[in-house]
A = this chain, B = another copy of it.
Amino acid sequence: MTKTTEATVVFTPSGKRGSFAQGTSVLDAARTLGVDLDSVCGGRGICGRCQIIVSSGDFAKFGITSRGDHLSPFGPAEKQYAEKRGLEEGRRLGCHSKILGDLVIDVPEESQVHRQVVRKRAEARAIEIDPLVRLYYIEVREPDMHDPTGDLERLKEALRDQWDVEVGAADLHALQSLQPALRKGDWTATAAVRGDGALIHVWPGFHDRAFGLAIDVGTTTVAAHLTDLASGEVTASVGAMNPQIRFGEDLMSRVSYIMMHPGGEVELIAEIRTAIDKLATEAAREAGIDADDILEITIVGNPVMHHLVLGINPVELGGAPFALAADGAQLVTARSLDIHAVNQGARVYTLPCVAGHVGADAAAVVLSEAPYQRDEMALIVDVGTNAEIVLGNRHRLMACSSPTGPAFEGAQITAGQRAAPGAIERVRIDPETLEPRFSVVGSKAWSDEDKFAKVAARTGVTGICGSGIIEVIAEMFLAGLLTTDGIIDGTLAGRTDRLVQQGRTWSYVLHRGEPEIVVTQTDIRAIQLAKAALYAGARLLMDRMEIETVDRVVLAGAFGTHIDPKYAMVLGMIPDCPLEHVQSAGNAAGTGARIALLNAGARAEIERVVRDIEKVETAVEPRFQEHFVEAMALPHKTAAYPNLATVVTLPEPQTAGPASDSGGRPRRRRRG
Footprint of B on A, CB under 8 Å?
142-153, 169-170, 172, 175-176, 178-180, 310-313, 316, 320-328, 330-332, 336, 353, 355-356, 615, 617, 619-620
Contact of A179 among B152, B179, B323, B355 (CB under 8 A): B323
- Contact among B149, B150, B324, B332 with A172 in the assembled complex (CB-CB below 8 Å): B332
Q: Given A175-B312, A330-B175: A355 and B324 within 8 A (CB)?
A: no
Given A144-B321, A172-B310, residue A153 in contact with residue B326 (CB < 8 A): yes
**Complexed CA–CA distance, A620 and B148 (Å):** 12
Say which residue of B145, B172, B310, B355 sits within 8 Å of A619 (CB atoms).
Answer: B145
A148 nearest CB neighbor, chain B only: B355
In the complex, are the beta carbons of A325 and B355 less than 8 A apart? no
Q: Are B148's CB and A617's CB within 8 A?
A: yes
Q: Which 5 A-B pairs have the closest CB atoms?
A: A152-B326, A143-B323, A150-B327, A148-B355, A150-B324
Q: Which listed residue, B145, B153, B322, B356, touches A620 by the CB 8 Å rule?
A: B145
Do residues B169 and A325 form an inter-chain contact, with CB atoms below 8 A?
no
Complex Cα distance, B308 from A175, in Å, reads 12
15 A–B pairs (Cβ distance < 8 Å), ordered by A: A143-B322, A145-B320, A145-B322, A145-B617, A148-B324, A149-B324, A150-B326, A150-B327, A151-B325, A169-B330, A169-B331, A170-B326, A172-B332, A176-B313, A180-B313
CA distance A169 to B149 in the complex (A): 32
Contact between B336 and A150, CB atoms less than 8 A apart? no
A146→B179 CA distance, assembly (Å): 55
In the complex, the answer to whether A145 meets B321 with C-beta atoms within 8 Å is yes
Q: Which residues of B contact A615 (CB under 8 A)?
A: 147-148
Residue of B nearest to A169 (CB): B331
Distance between Cα atoms of A324 and B615 in the complex (Å): 54
Shortest Cβ distance from residue A189 to the other chain B in the assembled complex, whole angstroms: 13
Q: Which of B150, B175, B322, B331 contacts A148 (CB 8 A)?
A: B322
Q: Is the CB of B148 within 8 A of A325?
A: no
**Given A145-B321, A145-B617, A146-B617, CB of A179 within 8 Å of CB of B328:** no
Query: A313-B179, A336-B172, A620-B146 known; A151 and B320 CB under 8 Å?
Result: no
The listed residue with most B CB atoms (<10 A of its CB), out of A144, A170, A312, A325, is: A325
Contact assessment for B353 and A172 in the assembled complex, using a CB-CB cutoff below 8 Å: no
Given the complex, which residues of B lie within 8 Å of A324, measured CB to CB? 148-151
A152 and B325: CB pair below 8 A?
Answer: yes
Closest B residue, CB atoms, query A354: B148
Residues of chain B contacted by A326 (CB below 8 angstroms): 150-153, 170, 175, 178
Please tell me how many copies of the chain the complex holds: 2
The residues of B that contact A313 with a CB separation of less than 8 Å are 176, 179-180
**How far, in whole Å, are A311 and B172 apart by their CA atoms in the complex?**
8
Closest Cβ neighbor of A617 among chain B residues: B145
Contacts of A175 in B (CB 8 A): 310, 312, 325-326, 330
**Assuming the A-B contacts A310-B172, A310-B175, A312-B176, are A328 and B144 also in contact, with contact meaning beta carbons closer than 8 angstroms in the complex?**
no
A202 to chain B, nearest CB (A): 11
Taken together as a complex, chains A and B put the C-alpha atoms of A172 and B333 apart, in Å, by 9
**In the bound complex, what is the Cα–Cα distance between A172 and B152 (angstroms)?**
28
A148-B322, A175-B325, A180-B313 given; 15 more Cβ-contact pairs under 8 Å: A145-B620, A148-B615, A148-B617, A149-B327, A151-B323, A152-B325, A152-B328, A153-B328, A170-B330, A172-B310, A175-B310, A176-B311, A176-B313, A178-B326, A179-B312
Q: Which residues of B contact A144 (CB under 8 A)?
A: 321
* Shortest beta-carbon distance from A319 to chain B in Å: 11
Inter-chain contact A178/B325, CB cutoff 8 Å:
yes
Query: Chain B residue with minimal CB distance to A327?
Result: B150
Cβ A325 vs Cβ B179 within 8 A: yes
- Closest partner residue, chain B, to A316 (CB atom): B179
CB contacts (< 8 Å) of A176 on chain B: these are: 310-313, 325
CA separation between A356 and B148, bound complex, in Å?
7
Q: Given the complex, which residues of B lie within 8 Å of A332, measured CB to CB?
A: 172
Residues on the B chain within 8 Å of A316, using CB: 151, 179
Q: A326–B172 Cα gap in the complex (Å)?
A: 11
Q: How far is the CB of A331 from chain B (nearest CB, A)?
A: 7
| A316 CA to B153 CA, complexed, in Å | 15
Cβ of A653 to closest chain B Cβ, rounded Å: 36
A607 to chain B, nearest CB (A): 12
Residues on B with beta carbons closer than 8 Å to the beta carbon of A169: 330-331
Q: Which of A172, A321, A331 has the most CB of B within 10 A?
A: A172
Find out whether the CB atom of A148 lies under 8 angstroms from the CB atom of B311.
no
Q: In the complex, how many angstroms separate the beta carbon of A252 from the nearest chain B beta carbon?
A: 17
With both beta carbons as reference points, the residue of chain B lying nearest to A619 in the complex is identified as B145
Give CA–CA (A316, B143) in the complex, Å: 10
Which residues of chain B are near A311, meaning CB under 8 Å? 172, 176
Distance in angstroms from A316 CB to nearest chain B CB is: 5
Distance A172 CA – B151 CA, assembled complex (angstroms): 31
Known: A326-B170, A326-B175. A150 touches B353 (CB 8 A): yes
In the complex the two chains form, what is the Cα distance from A334 to B501 in whole Å?
70
Which residues of B lie under 8 Å from residue A180 when comparing CB positions?
313
CB distance from A242 to the nearest CB of B (A): 21
Q: Kindly list chain B residues whose C-beta atoms are within 8 Å of the C-beta of A149.
A: 324, 327
Determine the distance from Cα of A147 to Cα of B326 in the docked complex, in whole angstroms. Answer: 13
- In the assembled complex, how far is the CB of residue A468 from the closest CB belonging to chain B, in whole angstroms? 35
Which residues of B are found within 8 Å of A325, using beta-carbon distances? Answer: 150-152, 175-176, 178-179
Minimum CB distance partner of A337 in chain B: B172
Which residue in chain B gives the minimum CB-CB distance to A144? Answer: B321
Residues on the B chain within 8 Å of A147, using CB: 615
Q: CA–CA, A148 to B303, complex, Å?
A: 12
Docked complex Cα distance between A147 and B327 (Å): 11
- Whether A321 pairs with B143 at a CB distance below 8 angstroms is yes
Chain B residues contacting A142 (CB-CB under 8 Å) are 321
A320 to B150, CA, bound (A): 13
Distance of A73 Cα from B619 Cα, bound (Å): 51
Chain B residues with Cβ below 8 Å from A310 are 172, 175-176
Residues of B near A331 (CB, < 8 A) are 169
Chain B residues in 8 Å Cβ range of A323:
143, 148, 150-151, 179
User: B327 contacts A148, CB within 8 Å?
Assistant: yes
